[in-house]
Structure 1
Amino acid sequence: MRVHLCAVGRLRAGPERELIDDYVTRFNRTGRALGLGPFALTEVEDRKGGGMEAEAALLSRAVPAGALTVVMDERGRQLTSPEFADQLAKWRDAGRQDVAFCIGGADGLAPAFRDSADFALSFGAMVWPHMLVRVMLAEQLYRAASILAGSPYHRE
């Protein structure tokens, strides 16, 4: 199952980029044998200032056709790392070819886009900087692959 991250905004060189690159490399390596990956990043930018609705249209076009759409939203479901791993495995085992995780811009996701998603995932009730959410998601994807592989990376 291919994993896509569709995000508003561009991530520049720096510590966040380095962390994401490291976790994505680890995820791709660990996930390959499990039928997870590769990981693909698509960044979109609304240069015309159309707000959440314009960003939602760009995100919609970035999501591959037929992909299961997961929005990152503080109102979404909060899962433990093992529960997240199980959810990824269920989607994979159900024959999903693609899953797309979507992160909105500074104002969040347009309500209609959020409501049309297949799943909403939250990293807690707090609002996190969008670039850190990317890092956290990349780490959790690697952790999920490690859990499914039985690796000692995740310790309960």
Structure 2
Amino acid sequence: MAKLIALTPCAGLLPVSSGGVEVAEVVFDRLMSVSPFAGQERAVSAKLKEQVGAGLSKINRRSGLVTWFGHGTWIVAGDVALGGMAAVTDQSDAWAAVSISGARATDVLARLVPIDLGASGFKTNHVAKTMLGHMSVTITRVGPDAFEIIVMRSMARTLVHDLDVAMRGVAAR
């Protein structure tokens, strides 16, 4: 019988760098979606604070391990138990995450993303649901020159390709 080997979504694709910008894979041990039931937001937030150190973040924000994911849903980087207060689903194998960092990371993303990710308006822990090329992504600014991008696992290779092409274009300028 064949032995199966678990691979991360970007196995063999990353890291890549060009012009002082680097893209690396972000690997989460556990990634859970949390959608509080009606009227349970405060209770869920308090329980999350106990379990992972941060409650539900504001819309378009990240708070610790809890990232707003749109339409009453948050993604939590960690295992959670919210018995009866929220719909909780293990999403660990559903998403690919990468970090892009470097002094020109914003310039690279400007070639691919239709929104302004400049530091004056898109500050650390700000989150945007947007398009990167033709892919739906969630982008979080994690530092002055650093972002985290989450995309459906099936789009990992395309994400890495698009970022690599844009990095080489910015480096050539």
Q: Same fold by TM (over 0.5)? A: no
Using CA pairs under 8 Å that are at least 6 residues apart, name the structure with larger relative contact order, 1 or 2. Answer: 1
Q: TM-score, normalised by structure 2?
A: 0.28
Which one has a larger percent strand, Structure 1 or Structure 2?
A: 2
